[in-house]
């Protein structure tokens, strides 16, 4: 009877050792998983911090770019207004000194001709003014074209920055979602109910050898490393 009880105790000891070995193996696996998750969490946290800084930097740059774009639009409007004013002045000059045109009919010249003025001098001055106005209009046209190009370029940059800002915001939201999932995983991993079930299982196996009263059995505890 004693031998059978001792054999049962020995079997229980082997079963308990096997369970402890399995528990130790699981603990090692859990430690490796936890270490891997901690490294991944640190990388995700660094990436999230970098994305947040980029997002803030982009948001800080947007007002300056929008202000520059508004300034260019105002300058463009002012230049267009100046061009319109000069065109009106040219039209008024043409209305006053239209008799100098080569296409003007000779019969109509006496209605506009001032006999006290030198017609050749007036013609020279008129041609000079027309040349000056033509150069001015050409310069304004070039500057307006450049302003339109700058406005289109700045608009493209603003659109790109807005797209980058939206992408950074989406990536930050995805990273925050991943962080929440990792936190839930750790909470489930160290849930008190699972830990208490494992402790109760070990306690039940340790209580079984108590029936052996004639022979004292010393159990050496296993230490989880």
Where residue 194 sits, what CATH number does that domain have? Answer: 1.10.287
Say if 121 falls within a structural domain. Answer: yes
Note whether residue 216 is domain-resident. Answer: no
Is 220 within the bounds of a domain? no
The number of distinct structural domains making up the chain is 1
Residue 223 lies in a domain: no
Question: Over its length of 225 residues, how does the chain's per-residue pLDDT go in tens digits?
Answer: 666 767 677 777 788 778 878 878 887 887 888 888 888 888 888 887 888 888 888 778 888 878 887 888 888 788 888 877 877 877 776 665 555 554 444 444 444 445 555 667 767 777 887 788 778 888 878 888 888 888 888 888 888 888 887 888 888 788 778 777 766 766 665 666 665 665 676 667 666 654 444 444 443 443 433
Q: What is the DSSP string of the chain?
A: -HHHHHHHHHHHHHHHHHHHHHHHHHHHHHHHHHHHHHHHHHHHHHHHHHHHHHHHHHHHHHHHHHHHHHHHHHHHHHHHHHHHHHHHHHHHHHHHSGGGSTTS-GGGHHHH--TTS-HHHHHHHHHHHHHHHHHHHHHHHHHHHHHHHHHHHHHHHHHHHHHHHHHHHHHHHHHHHHHHHHHHHHHHHT-HHHHHHHHHHHHHHHHGGGG--SS--PPPPP---
- Give residue 63's domain range: 2-101+112-211
């Amino acid at each position: 009877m004693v031998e059978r009880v001792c054999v049962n105790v020995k079997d229980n000891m082997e079963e308990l050792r096997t369970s402890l070995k399995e528990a130790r193996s699981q603990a090692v696996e859990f430690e490796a998983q936890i270490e891997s998750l901690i490294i991944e969490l640190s990388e995700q946290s660094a990436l999230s911090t970098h994305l947040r800084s980029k997002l803030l930097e982009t948001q800080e740059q947007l007002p300056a770019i929008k202000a520059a774009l508004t300034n260019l639009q105002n300058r463009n409007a002012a230049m267009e207004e100046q061009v319109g004013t000069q065109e009106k002045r040219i039209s008024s000059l043409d209305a006053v000194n239209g008799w100098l045109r080569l296409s003007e009919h000779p019969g109509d010249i006496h209605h506009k001709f001032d006999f006290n003025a030198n017609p050749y001098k007036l013609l020279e001055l008129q041609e000079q003014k027309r040349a000056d106005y033509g150069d001015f209009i050409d310069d304004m046209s070039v500057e307006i074209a450049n302003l339109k190009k700058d406005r289109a370029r700045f608009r493209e940059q603003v659109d790109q920055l807005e797209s980058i800002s939206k992408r950074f915001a989406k990536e930050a939201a995805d990273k925050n979602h991943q962080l929440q999932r990792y936190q839930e995983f750790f909470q489930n991993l160290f849930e008190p109910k699972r830990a208490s079930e494992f402790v109760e299982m070990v306690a039940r196996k340790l209580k079984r050898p108590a029936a052996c009263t004639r022979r004292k059995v010393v159990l050496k505890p296993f230490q989880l490393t």
